[in-house]
Amino acid sequence: MQPADRPRPQSPADLFWSFNWLALQGFGGVLAVVQREIVEKKRWLTPEEFVEDWAVAQTMPGPNVINLAIMIGDRHFGLRGALAALVGVMAAPMLIVLALALAYANYSHHPQVAGALRGMGAVAAGLITATGLKLMPALKRNPLGMPWCVLFAGLCFGLVAWLRIPLVWVLLGVGGTSCVLTWRRLKA
Amino acid sequence: MSLVFTHTEWLQLFLHFATLSLLAVGGAITVAPDMHRYLVDEKLWISDPQFSASIAIAQAAPGPNVLFVGLMGWHVGLNAAGVPGALLGFALTLTGVMIPSCTLTWAATRWAHHNRELRAVRAFKQGMAPVVVALLIATGWILATGTGYDLSHWPLWAVTIVSALLVWKTRIHLLWLLGAGGLLGATGWV
């Protein structure tokens, strides 16, 4: 199990401000920032725990970063923690989005604005890719073993990125097979 | 556009997004096609440019992408009753799409955490691990090639590859990279 002195959120307020801060850095999706802040800086989760929790957050309906905030918040401070993390991840970005919506009518036709959005979008794509690359070592201790992990990951990448198969089928098909195989391995 | 909205329409707006909530496995963006069908084609509550702008604005802002759902409601409300209506629409669509899925996640993950030593729970979490890692890389791929595979996009791809390498191998702050990307775009380099 976990050593008692590992880092953890101090209070619901700590959860609120931590998630607030990481949400404000998360352009084009919060995931890359969550990994950087929660795993690398705060060490509330190990890379292995992060991958496992992310699997759950991803397979539940709803926005996965919000699901993850609810999970981490609830684990440490119950419903209060879940709400603190949830409000933290939503509050500040919500105000910014509303301000942008008000400004949108006036500035949407400027080519510089469109260009800046395009450049930031390209960086955001790189951030998310790097998050995946950084989590690969977490697969080393997976009960499936590396060859099976590589096979399932490669299959999943091809189906989603190239063939654009809807996520539900990939999760049920590839994910389901992988879970059954893991279940059989865990018996031993 | 001007619309006549009574309690019934506001309620319909809320309920439609509440039904979509539990279907949104993989994020709210996966049900965006259905939102388009309902708001733009069937109800004529918002225009197609307003629909696209809702997604683009939310992507340009920091934070969870689900905020684009609020902006759909924002535009519906704006067309129906000006800025006060926009704020009401924002609140209704966002709470509609969040409350059912958040409640389910809270209850289900709580159960899973209490039963985390169960073989089925461990098999699920560890079995999904390779899929999760692959989905992240695939998401990056899809975002980077969203404009098509045309070779003229190479400066954008270069930005994506360089930022992926920098984030992977260094501890550079992510905001510097986003700022640099925005600057390159605004000055017309990419």
Please tell me which residue of chain A has the smallest CA distance to B53: A104
List the end-to-end C-alpha distance of chain B, in Å, as a whole number.
36
Q: What percent of chain A has pLDDT over 70?
A: 94
Nearest to B143 among A104, A128, A175 (CB): A128
Q: Give residue A150's pLDDT.
A: 95
Q: Grade residue B77 by pLDDT with cuts at 50, 70 and 90.
A: very high
* A95 and A46 in a common domain: yes
* A165 and A115 in a common domain: no
Average pLDDT over residues B141-164: 85
Range of the domain at A73: 1-140
Mutate one of B23, B93, B109 to test the A interface: name it (highest A CB count within 10 A): B109
Is B2 among the domain residues? no
Q: How many domains does chain B have?
A: 2
Of B1, B9, B89, B88, nearest in space to B49 by CA: B1
Query: Position B143: which residue type?
Result: L
Task: Round to whole Å and give the CA distance between A94 and A19.
Answer: 13
On whether ipTM exceeds 0.90, the answer is: no
Q: Does B90 have pLDDT greater than 80?
A: yes
Is B129 among the domain residues? no
* B69 and B151 in a common domain: no
Please tell me which residue of chain A has the smallest CA distance to B187: A112
Q: Give residue A103's pLDDT.
A: 83
Task: Round to whole Å and give the CA distance between A36 and B169.
Answer: 12
Nearest to A186 among B122, B134, B166 (CB): B122
Q: How many domains does chain A have?
A: 2
Range of the domain at B181: 145-186
Q: Does A93 have pLDDT greater than 50?
A: yes
According to the per-residue pLDDT averaged within each range, which of A97-106, A123-132, A154-163, B92-101 is highest? B92-101
* B93 and B32 in a common domain: yes
| DSSP strands (E only) in B117-189 | none
Q: pLDDT digit string (tens) for A111-152?
A: 887 788 778 878 888 888 898 898 898 898 899 999 999 999
Q: Grade residue A84 by pLDDT with cuts at 50, 70 and 90.
A: very high
Distance from CA of B123 to the nearest CA of A (A): 5
Q: Does B185 have pLDDT greater than 80?
A: yes
According to the per-residue pLDDT averaged within each range, which of A127-141, B3-17, B122-136 is highest? B3-17
Query: Position B17: which residue type?
Result: F
Average pLDDT over residues B19-23: 87
Partner-chain contact A54 B164, CB within 8 Å: no
* B157 and B78 in a common domain: no
* B102 and B12 in a common domain: yes
Output the average pLDDT for chain A: 87
* B151 and B100 in a common domain: no
Output the average pLDDT for chain B: 88
Contact status of B125 with chain A (Cβ, < 8 Å): yes
Partner-chain contact B185 A118, CB within 8 Å: yes
Q: Give residue A50's pLDDT.
A: 92
* A179 and A111 in a common domain: no
Q: Give residue A1's pLDDT.
A: 44
Q: Out of A101, A125, A140, pick the residue that ends a domain.
A: A140
Pairs of residues, one from chain A and one from chain B, whose beta carbons lie less than 8 Å apart: 362
In the three-class reduction of DSSP (H, G, I as helix; E, B as strand; rest coil), residue B62 is classed as strand
On the 0-12 / 13-18 / 19+ scale of CB atoms within 10 A, A43 is: exposed
- State the pTM of this model: 0.81
Who has greater pLDDT, B61 or A13? A13
* A187 and A126 in a common domain: no
Q: Give residue B152's pLDDT.
A: 82
Residue B1's alpha-carbon distances to A104, B42, B48, B81, in angstroms, are 17, 15, 12, 11
* A7 and A31 in a common domain: yes
Q: Does A4 have pLDDT greater than 80?
A: no
Average pLDDT over residues B110-139: 88
Locate A36 and state its tokens. 């950087």
Is B133 among the domain residues? no
Of B68, B72, B74, nearest in space to B28 by CA: B68
Average pLDDT over residues A20-25: 89
Q: pLDDT digit string (tens) for A23-45?
A: 988 875 677 888 889 999 999 99
